[in-house]
Amino acid sequence: LFKKVYTLIFVRTENQILLGLKKRGFGVNKWNGFGGKVEQNELIVDGAARELKEECCLDVKTSDLKNIAHLEFTFEGEPLLMDVRVFSTNIFEGTPAETEEMSPKWFNYEDIPFNDMWPDDRVWFPYMLKGKLIYGRFHYKGLDTILDYKIQELESM
């Protein structure tokens, strides 16, 4: 398998979480956090902050990003391992704005649109929303079916 590292950022307030509707590319028409590929010459946290700015115009300091999950995705019959580093922050500047990539929207925690998100989100979001640190791996068949998964709470990342 060949591993590719991606970022995923969630911006949270006491009552809401910021999600973006992906307008093109991988995961199009799904709500998700903000993120993308990590460039060769950048640290993962720098890549995360860069993608957040590019995708919804929000500014965060990398020192305010908390790494809260490490998710790995494999796909039946395919050599790719998606290594997704998930970050969260409640400190940010700016107002989320629509870009070519994403339409941002604040969601109350009880209204998260799981039917229009990746299937794995139903599994690991509850841990994130409870402030847990997790490692999770999900083995997919295609992009809609989880064949099996493992999730574990961590004391530290």
CA 138/CA 82 separation, integer angstroms: 10
# of chain residues touching ligand CJ6 (CB under 6 A): 12
Query: Of 37-66, which residues contact ligand CJ6 (CB under 6 A)?
Result: none
Q: How far is the CB of 4 from ligand CJ6 (least distance, A)?
A: 9
Residues 6+ apart with CB under 8 A from 56: 18, 20, 34, 96, 97, 98, 99, 102, 104
Give, in order, the Cα–Cα distances in Å from 25 to each of 8, 79, 101, 148.
15, 20, 8, 25
Nearest 10 degrees: Cα torsion 111, 115, 116, 117:
90
Say if strands 2-12 and 16-22 run parallel, antiparallel, or are unpaired.
antiparallel
Q: Taking contact as CB under 6 A, which single stretch among the options 12-20, 29-37, 38-46, 93-101 is the one that binds ligand CJ6?
A: 29-37
Residues 106-135 that bind ligand CJ6 (CB under 6 A): 118, 120-121
Question: Which listed range, 31-39, 42-50, 58-66, 101-109, lies at the site for ligand CJ6 (CB under 6 A)?
Answer: 31-39
Of 10, 17, 31, 32, the one binding ligand CJ6 by CB under 6 A: 32
Q: Which of 36, 96, 104, 136 binds ligand CJ6 (CB under 6 A)?
A: 36
Binding site for ligand CJ6 (CB under 6 A): 6, 8, 32, 35-36, 73, 82, 84, 118, 120-121, 140
